[in-house]
Amino acid sequence: MNPSDPITGTHIHYFLVCPRKCWLSLHRLEQETGSDLVELGKLTHERTFTRQQLREVDVDGFLRIDFTSEGIVHEVKHGQSEEHAHRMQLAYYLYQLRLRGVQTHGVLHYPNQRRKERVELTPELEAELQQVLQQVEALRQQPLPPQVPRPMRICRSCAYEEFCWSENEEVGQ
Amino acid sequence: MKKSLYLTSSGTLSRDQNTLLLELETGEKRYFPIEQIGDIHCFGEASLNKRLLEYLTQQGVPVHFYNYYEYYVGSYYPREHNSSGFLTLKQAEHYLDESKRLDLARRFVRGALQNLQQVLRYYAHREKPVHPMIEGIAQVEAQLDDAASVETLMQLEGQAREMYYSALDPVLQNPDFAFESRSRRPPANRLNALISFGNSLMYTLALSEIYRTHLDPRIGFLHATNYRRFSLNLDVAEVFKPVLVDRTVLTLVGLRQIQPEHFGEELGGVYLNDEGRKRFLQAWEERLQTTFQHRRLKRNVSYRTAVRLELFKIEKHLIGEKPYEPFRAYW
Ligand code: SF4
């Protein structure tokens, strides 16, 4: 509905975690960040890095990169379960930066697991990213959000939980 | 979970670094952490400045004002922080398209009528003579499908409400709280005063929860939209009034937690006094925090959350995902 809104790194991440979440976000149906996990994510951020390091970088108003240092892009995540989605999100930043003439690589930080992962925009990763970008565009054109038949494990910690599962079915209230 | 802040005495409200500061006329100071405040209700005289309003906007906290007689006066509704052009267009479309508007309006009335019956069934189980009223409302409900205009729906709802109100005296059987008939401005007796007060709280509750969604409170479906006033909250309130307001009133009176001494008479009307208002607000907050098991979310949710979930269901109706089925109370 906002056809000119650029795809953000968050959209890429959402798409790979739950396309419904991606559709809702593309249609600006974001929910309040009341979720504990969102808060937890912020805490992980703040405890691990100093204020100095934690300057979010905003590229052209839609790429919000956690922080950069010495020309490297860093993304901080607190959970490991969505690893591939994180990697693709970072790949998307690298791709967008390359379109702007910046060649670099990135690092995913999992401070809770004391782990880092280096991410390069290899031809394979880029091909995969292109596919995802096409799918996200196609998803945006769909008139309705994709249906999810029943709550998934990740719904528990998703900001859209109350929206997606608001119906109380029949009896029992 | 965020809480409502009810200010029943007069004072000055201001921002003190990152907290809300209330200075009472007695000089007493009270601090409230802003993250815990969902909305503010001012009953007494409140002084506030622009700096505070900016802070409330930034934190997304609406403020509702009531006058001395507990009527709703108006709200400070911070600009929408959560809007979705997509959803706003859908909402307008459902207002402008007559059949879509009628469909939604009918759903609100059906929800209201079912919950009216549910409240009466609760009292029927307690041996109160209210069966004829339940049947009467069921008959009105059967006519909803044939209603060809929003006005007709409003009339049908009015009829159902009248039958429902005629059950209050047999339920309470308390001469100090005789209902007789509905009177609004001014409320002619204590029971009417309680219902009016509760309804004001219900309207602002719905308004505050709408603020947490993408819906525009100015576009209602059953209650006509007029661009100066909120109306979607009135639609949603119809569904919940029986369950939240009426049950609070009937319980307070039934348990004699509210007594004749908690009222005063002024300008030809009957109003709650300070103590009465405090008791009502306490019971109201308890009611909102009462929880029930939600099957889909697989956890207990409060009635306040239920109001928010209702708004999400309305959003899903508007985007065409799922027809709206109103909240139903089951006790
Ligand atoms: S609550 Fe579940 S279904 Fe809904 S967007 Fe989140 S993950 Fe997807």
**A26-76 per-position pLDDT tens digit:** 998 988 754 444 444 555 555 555 555 556 667 766 777 776 676 677 777
pLDDT of residue A75: 75
Alpha-carbon torsion (B109, B41, B76, A31), positive or negative: negative
The model's pLDDT over A105-136, given as tens digits with 9 standing for 90+, comes to 888 888 778 888 888 899 999 999 999 999 99
Q: CB count, 10 Å around CB of B204?
A: 23
Question: Is the sign of the CA dihedral B260, B266, B269, B274 positive or negative?
Answer: negative
The pLDDT of residue A79 is above 70? no
Q: Is A159 in the pocket of ligand 1 (CB under 6 A)?
A: no
**How close is the Cα of A66 to the center of ligand 1, in Å?**
24
In contact, B87 and B214? CB cutoff 8 Å: yes
CB–CB of A29 and B327 under 8 A? no
CA distance A145 to B316: 10
Q: Which residues of A touch B297 (CB under 8 A)?
A: 151, 161-162, 165
Which ligand 1 atom is the nearest neighbour of the CA of A148?
Answer: 3
Judge: B85–A1 Cβ closer than 8 Å, yes or no: yes
Low-confidence ranges of chain B (pLDDT < 50): none
Cβ contacts (< 8 Å) between B329 and chain A: which residues?
173
DSSP code for A65? E
Regarding the beta carbon of A21 and ligand 1, being less than 6 Å apart is answered: yes
- pLDDT in the model for residue A4: 65
pLDDT of residue B26: 87
- Does the beta carbon of A4 lie under 8 angstroms from any beta carbon of chain B? no
Model pTM score = 0.90
Beta strand ranges found along chain A (DSSP E): 57-59, 63-65, 67-69, 72-76, 106-110, 115-119
Predicted confidence at residue A45, as pLDDT, reads 58
The mean pLDDT value of chain A amounts to 80
> Which residue do the tokens 């009341």 mark?
A34
ipTM more than 0.85? yes
Minimum distance, in Å, between the CA of residue B188 and any CA atom of chain A: 35
Task: Indicate the residue of B85, B319, B320 with minimum beta-carbon distance to A2.
Answer: B85
Q: How far apart are CA A10 and CA A75, in angstroms?
A: 12
Cβ burial B55-74 (10 Å sphere, 16+ → b, else e): bbeeebbbbbbbeebbbbee
Report pLDDT for A37. 45
Structure tokens at B175: 């001469």
Confidence at residue A6, expressed as pLDDT on a 0 to 100 scale: 86
**Candidates B87, B296, B315; nearest CB to A151:** B296
Is A151's CB within 8 Å of B82's CB? no
For residue A49, the model assigns a pLDDT of 55
Determine the Cα–Cα distance for residues B149 and B122; give it in Å rounded to an integer.
32
- Which atom number of ligand 1 is nearest to the Cα of residue A18? 8
C-alpha span between B182 and B195 (Å, rounded): 9
Tell me how close the Cα of B24 comes to any Cα of chain A, in angstroms.
Answer: 31
Contacts of A27 in chain B (CB under 8 A): 84, 86-87, 319
Write down the pLDDT at residue B175. Answer: 86
Integer angstrom CA distances of residue B325 from A166, B106, B139, B166, B309: 11, 11, 20, 27, 11
Contact B218, B225 (CB under 8 A): yes
Residue numbers in B near A166 (CB within 8 A): 296, 309-310, 312-313, 316
Identify whether B175 is preceded by a cis peptide bond (ω within 30 of 0): no
pLDDT of residue B234: 94
Q: Report residue B201 as tokens.
A: 């709280």
Per-residue burial over B221-237, b if 16 or more Cβ lie within 10 Å, else e, is bbbebeeeebbbbbbbb
Q: What pLDDT, on the 0 to 100 scale, is given for residue A172?
A: 35
Select from B83, B89, B295 the Cβ nearest to the Cβ of A169: B295
Ligand 1 near A13 CB (within 6 A): no
Q: How many CA atoms are closer than 13 Å to the CA of A141, on its beta-carbon side?
A: 5
Best of B59, B296, B314, B328 to substitute, by most chain A Cβ atoms within 10 angstroms, is B296
